[in-house]
Structure 1
Amino acid sequence: MHYLMGVRIDESVLPYSDEEMEASYARVGKVNDEMKAAGVWVFGGGLLPSDSATVVRVENGSTAMTDGPFAETKEQLGGFYVIEVDDLDAALHWAGKAAEACQVPIEVRPFGGVA
């Protein structure tokens, strides 16, 4: 089964120092390598800050685009992993490793299907 592990960040505490970023990259790289070695890694990546986003919506047959995130919230999606594991327990195991490495909360959601 495929799971999305969303990396939840608080953009109000950014940017990190160069030393903090290097330490974070090292921790996250180690977990990424563990996932790849275990054969659960499908895809993952970090995202630019939410102010780089464009929201596209259709209302009454007309497409509208706006800058930035749709939801006004302190936490934003800062990155994600897509993993393939047997069950939720296995996904939570990897989410725990990712949360420790990223030092932020990780939201775990199963896919409803994969096309």
Structure 2
Amino acid sequence: MTHYLISFPSSAMVVSAEDFPDVVRDSHAVIQEAKDAGVYVFGGGIDEDVDPVLVAGDGTVTDGTYPETTRLNGGFTILNLPSREAALEWAGKIAASCRCPQEVRAFQYDPLS
């Protein structure tokens, strides 16, 4: 089994205020389906009202993020799945419920984490 990150930036989700309750309902239904299937690990949206900071190994805190990172926002879901094909199927379900395409990335396996 591999953990997959399924995500989208905030700018990808263009939904009218009228349609937003349906998006919430549908996306919660897909997450419940993933929980019921036993593949859900974690998910949520990045709080864009809280600015990011960098913390160095010596504890120094710097406002902002890496210079090459322009923005990290939006929503994400981590699922534990048997294959990339399964991840693509779940991403399709999430895309349909959120009304926007999803990016799929696999986490590298690390037996010590």
Shorter-chain TM band: 0.7 to 0.9
Aligned match of 1:102: 98
Aligned match of 2:45: 46
* 1:12-71 Cα shifts (integer Å, max 9, x gaps): x68x52x3321111110111111111111111112222x523130549x78342247853
Gaps of 5+ in 2: none
* 1:87-109 Cα shifts (integer Å, max 9, x gaps): 10001100011011111221111
Q: How many residues align?
A: 108
Distance (Å, rounded) in 2 between the aligned partners of 1:64 and 1:96: 38
Does the CA-based 8 Å contact 1:52-1:67 persist in structure 2? Answer: no
Please report the TM-score for the alignment, with normalisation by the length of structure 1: 0.75
Give the AA of the match of 2:96.
Answer: E
Distance (Å, rounded) in 2 between the aligned partners of 1:45 and 1:3: 14
**CA 98–66 in structure 1, closer or farther in 2 if over 3 Å, else same:** same
Distance (Å, rounded) in 1 between the aligned partners of 2:102 and 2:66: 19
Does the CA-based 8 Å contact 2:95-2:102 persist in structure 1? Answer: yes
- Structural RMSD (CA): 2.8
Distance (Å, rounded) in 2 between the aligned partners of 1:4 and 1:25: 20
> As a proportion of its length, which structure holds more strand?
1
SS in 2 for 1:109: strand
Distance (Å, rounded) in 2 between the aligned partners of 1:104 and 1:85: 22
Distance (Å, rounded) in 2 between the aligned partners of 1:77 and 1:105: 15
Distance (Å, rounded) in 2 between the aligned partners of 1:31 and 1:21: 15
